[in-house]
Structure 1
């Protein structure tokens, strides 16, 4: 496993049963709650045209309250040159997440861990990733599987398990509190990815779905 490198800050003991990344964090309520639940990675969208975009000022305002969590800069379309230019305004970024596979080679030597976020539409998309898995593992690229699919089919579970045996995978869809532990066991993924979101009003947010999964993953003292 290669998430635990010197590129990351690990100043506390893991208190969740699996590795957890929170994506699209854009408010202090989400950030403080998730940090308090001992998530490992906290992702922020740094593209201005994204609905969850976080300005350098807002990023600093949020992260000044946090400790013991690693920060991920999330990009969908930006060219690597623009990504690296953007990061100059954000202190403490540990990893870069991209959705364009062609951008990966241009970011391998940045000193940041890399995450490749893939939108899964069908089982065939996972098969294509399996074929590329040795390259991802060699370059220490974590594969994050995302999708609008709500329930994992048996075929997808089997394919994700195959992919997980060959490279490091975070599962970002098909997650349900009632079947979460079974899904983790069957797929063998390294961890999961959950989404934050916009507050109803400052300091007021419905945490029900997010909290249900995180609380299920808590390690009892």
Structure 2
């Protein structure tokens, strides 16, 4: 009976020592640093995922509303005045950049030669291309961090695991005891680092693939609008001559 009680007590102590918090507290300082770094990276990954999801959803909604107004037949100058010098979303920024460049050259259209008209169209297209690139760079901010966490986090966690197992084997050799209750906590805390690495990496990889696809689709939408708007301005350029 006493042996059964003693065995139950040891099992309870082992279970307590294998709780997540206990595994963290018992870990080596290097393993703790790895765990903390991966947990912070995981928190930042989720913050980026939330920010990108909300930003892209808002950008697409505003782009759809702007396209509806643009194709409704509203006067381009009135739409440009509404956009002002501080566009509220990427598509409006592309539109404002093109209108700003086109208005600068509008006074010279009457006497412009064919070569000058071509140069005007090229400047307008370049202004839209540069603005599109700048807006996409702003939207793509922190995407490199997602890719880095997705690729590096498992290896960082594995480093913590290897370090923890080395320390566990050293402790086992010093104690000269290979009982499972002695071995298990050290091995478990080492594997815990790999688990945290996967917790950080898996959402980062999935989110990177999804958000990259959404960004590419939005970039194509901006480029398509820029091409259509460039054609409209090109026709208006020819009509003014």
TM-score of the aligned structures, taking structure 2 as reference length: 0.21
TM-score (norm 1): 0.22
Greater strand fraction, Structure 1 or Structure 2? 1
Greater per-residue helix proportion: 2
The answer to which structure, 1 or 2, has the higher relative contact order (CA under 8 A, 6+ apart) is: 2
Greater C-alpha Rg: 2
